Amino acid sequence: MLYRPCSRRLIALAPALLLATSLFAAPALAQDDEKEDAKPVADYEPNAASKKMSGTFGGKRISYTATVEEQVLEDDDGNPAAAIVTMSYVAEPQDKTRPVTFLYNGGPGSGSVWLQMGAFGPKRVAIPSDARDDGGPPYPIVDNPDSLLDVTDIVFIDPVGTGFSHAIGDTDPKDYWGVTADAKSVAAVIRKWISDNGRWNSPKFLGGESYGTTRSAAVVHELEGAYNDVALNGVILISTILDFAAGADTEGNELSYITNLPTMAATAHYHGKVQAASVEALVQEARDFATGPYAAALLKGQALPDAERASVRAELSRLTGLSETYLDRADLRVSPNRFYKELLRDRGLTVGRLDSRYTGVDYDSAGETPDNDPSFYGIDAGYAAAINSWLRESIGYETDRQYVTIGGVGDWDWRLEGGRDTNAYLSVAPYLGRALRENSDLRIFVGQGWYDFATPFFAAEYSLSRTGFDPSRIEFQYYDAGHMMYIRDEDRAKLTADLRAFINAR
């Protein structure tokens, strides 16, 4: 049996935590709610489409087979419970010693459209690279020479409630909506795919973006945490969120002010509010200040002496581009939401959450937080059009279901194994630390954008530098864009070159 859905009660997620951990702050999109009742569940036939294609990737001409298919998971009684859609691109002639990489996005509730049509698939959507709105259709869908198909076969996975994936019959999709339940279902799909395709002895890589990095840690735990291992060669973390306390913008949590500060400095530099020799140099100054004088001041709370407060306030103003008057009113603690609105208030602009290079215009300039995130509404239409056009028209996948790009799940169960005390401090990072200690060949790649407030790069550095990690086996790379760094043409080329080297080195 592939997977038994978890039946425990789901915990409603607090709005503040949801804001901190969701890939996009967007309204939920309606997934088709109808049951698969046109035919008996036992007779359910997986939907699939396949097409042979070719392209040039990494400078090499590659023939490949593109396959979109439902991977059916069963319940304890052997009945179909869920159909999870995979989109695989396998080089021809097939080579079972060739690496295979499994990829997904995050949310939770996001389809793999972003990584597939933005970075690693054989085609991509060509939206503006310079932080401008994508406007209206048609959106160019072009060859993607940056795809990794020259070095690895690729399998994109859409978990239940995302993309075209769905529960079957009377199965409640909520059974799959949680850190552990989701990881178990994705691990089951990976096991099924490598069995069906004879790839048990292929080098294997696993990767995700945003909550997809959380998923990766949990899936590694499911694949390598028992004796019937599916061993991995590498884990790819793009825009990383592993330790949720490090980025939780919650009153009383001083850590988030520390981990967000370097991103604020980078953003202020990008928009000309702070001068520095380079963004890298300024970021290092911000790191040093954040973990030194700033952290010390925050921990002293109301006992902070006036002279020390004045010194910290002045340096904080220099690094962030915010006035000392504003910082004083904020008690030296500026949340990202306030920063988006305040940094360019004098210009009547806000900055983006996913990518703070983007700017937006609100209803007025008097509010405390932005109306919306310009770095999301600036890209969403192009990606939605591209994934539907590619899967339905180019590959020939036929379905009446709507492709859910983001927002396709409800309340998420954030509990991990280990009990209440463990879950009061939610971090999946220890799963990766254990995997590194128990798999001598495993390496981790971490890609972060300077201008990403959804998953700040300093929070990723923090979570992967705790006890139990070997820093020599973790590679960090940085990009001059935000959460989805591959939107910027130069960073897509750098990201794929970095990953090509990472995969080849394994």
Q: What is the pLDDT of residue 37?
A: 44
Least confident of 124-138, 209-223, 262-276, 280-294: 124-138
* H helix and E strand count, the chain: 16, 14
Q: What is the pLDDT of residue 481?
A: 97
* Tens-place pLDDT, residues 354-411: 999 999 999 999 999 999 988 888 888 899 999 999 999 999 999 999 999 998 899 9
Q: What is the pLDDT of residue 41?
A: 66
Across the range 88-105, mean pLDDT stands at 97
**What is the chain's mean pLDDT, rounded?**
90
Look up residue 305 and give its two tokens.
Answer: 């002496």
Q: What is the pLDDT of residue 21?
A: 37
Q: What is the pLDDT of residue 217?
A: 98
* Tens-place pLDDT, residues 30-76: 444 444 444 456 789 999 999 999 999 999 999 999 999 999 999 98
- For residue 208, list its beta bridge partners: 104, 237
CA gyration radius, the chain: 23
**CA nearest to 257, candidates 294, 284, 282, 288:** 294
Q: How many residues does the chain have?
A: 506
* Tens-place pLDDT, residues 457-483: 999 999 999 999 999 999 999 999 999
Across the range 121-130, mean pLDDT stands at 90
Q: What is the DSSP letter of 43?
A: G
* Tens-place pLDDT, residues 103-117: 999 999 999 999 999
CA 187/CA 206 separation, integer angstroms: 10
**CA nearest to 260, candidates 450, 107, 487, 429:** 450
Token pair 């178990």: residue: 184
Direct distance between the N- and C-terminal alpha carbons of the chain, in angstroms, rounded to an integer: 32
The residues spanned by each domain of the chain are 15-246+379-505, 255-377
Which residue would you say has higher pLDDT here, 26 or 76?
76
Whether pLDDT at 248 is above 90: no
Across the range 417-422, mean pLDDT stands at 61
CA 185/CA 176 separation, integer angstroms: 7
Q: Which residues contact 400 (CB under 8 A, 6 or more apart)?
A: 32
CA 202/CA 98 separation, integer angstroms: 6
Judged by DSSP in three states, 6 sits in coil
CA 407/CA 23 separation, integer angstroms: 9
CA-to-CA separations, 456 to 61, 284, 391, in angstroms, rounded = 37, 14, 32
CA 121/CA 224 separation, integer angstroms: 27
* DSSP helix, strand, coil percent of the chain (3-state; round to 5): 40, 20, 45
Q: pTM of the entire structure?
A: 0.90
Greatest mean pLDDT range, 24-28, 58-62, 250-254: 58-62
Whether the CB-CB separation of 66 and 51 falls below 8 Å is answered with: yes
CA 148/CA 56 separation, integer angstroms: 10
Count of Cβ atoms closer than 10 Å to residue 170 Cβ: 12
Whether pLDDT at 444 is above 80: yes
CA 162/CA 179 separation, integer angstroms: 15
- In the CATH scheme, what is the code of domain 15-246+379-505? 3.40.50.1820
